[in-house]
Amino acid sequence: MAPRIRAVALLAALTLLPGLVAAQTRKSTLDARRAQAVASAPAGASFRSAGQEYRIVPGIRAARVRGSGTVSSTLSAVGARESDLLERKGPYALYVEPAGAVPDVASPTSAVAVNVRSGQLGIVTGTITARVGSATAAATAARAGGVILELVTPATGYAFFRARSGADVLAAAAALRARPELKGVEVEVREAYDEPQ
């Protein structure tokens, strides 16, 4: 390699290295903080979804950052501060719920679950999927289970339900599992989003 090219490569490496080290340090700090928050939370209910085992993490919630809102204003609406933020996942801000916080009722939040194998956090979206024979059977199950029927796809035989706002999603899924019209009832957990943050 020519001396001039070597010098340019060395200068570029020296210029970029501090930024890369700082980014890695921030990521390590956030990973440690998230792991500490999960470890210190009481044990929540366990469930399976998409072949993975999850556990609800009481005390960690997800608030959706809407439209032109900021993370700071979103957290403030749920009684949290920016220092309570654990991570961003797509449009959601995952945060440690402060003791005694009184969230704005117009700012609903979602439960958070940890993937038992990977340690990744995921948002329990409130969507519940199940295999079903017909749209009529799905509507019957929704009424009996106290959930909202969002979509039935006859071609695939799947129905998509939504737990009512503020309802326990796992309890809603259990009510649907008890319905003879449905098979393979699962609670949706989103660990990743393609949307930019």
Query: What's the CA gap between 108 and 119, in Å, rounded?
Result: 25
- pLDDT for the residue 54: 97
Q: What are phi and psi of 27, to 5 degrees?
A: -65, -45
Q: Interior CA angle at 56 toward 51 and 57, to 5°?
A: 135
Q: What's the CATH code, domain 125-190?
A: 3.30.70.80
Beta strand 121-132 with 109-115 is antiparallel
150: closest CA among 140, 167, 138, 136?
138
Q: What are phi and psi of 158, to 5 degrees?
A: -110, 150
Residue pair 144/180 in contact by the 8 Å Cβ criterion: no
DSSP 167: S
Q: What is the pTM of this model?
A: 0.78
196: closest CA among 90, 122, 93?
90
Question: Mean of the per-residue pLDDT values for the chain?
Answer: 86
pLDDT in tens, 80-134: 999 999 999 999 999 999 887 666 656 689 999 999 999 999 999 999 999 999 9
Residue ranges per structural domain of the chain = 125-190
- pLDDT for the residue 13: 59
Query: What's the CA gap between 72 and 69, in Å, rounded?
Result: 8
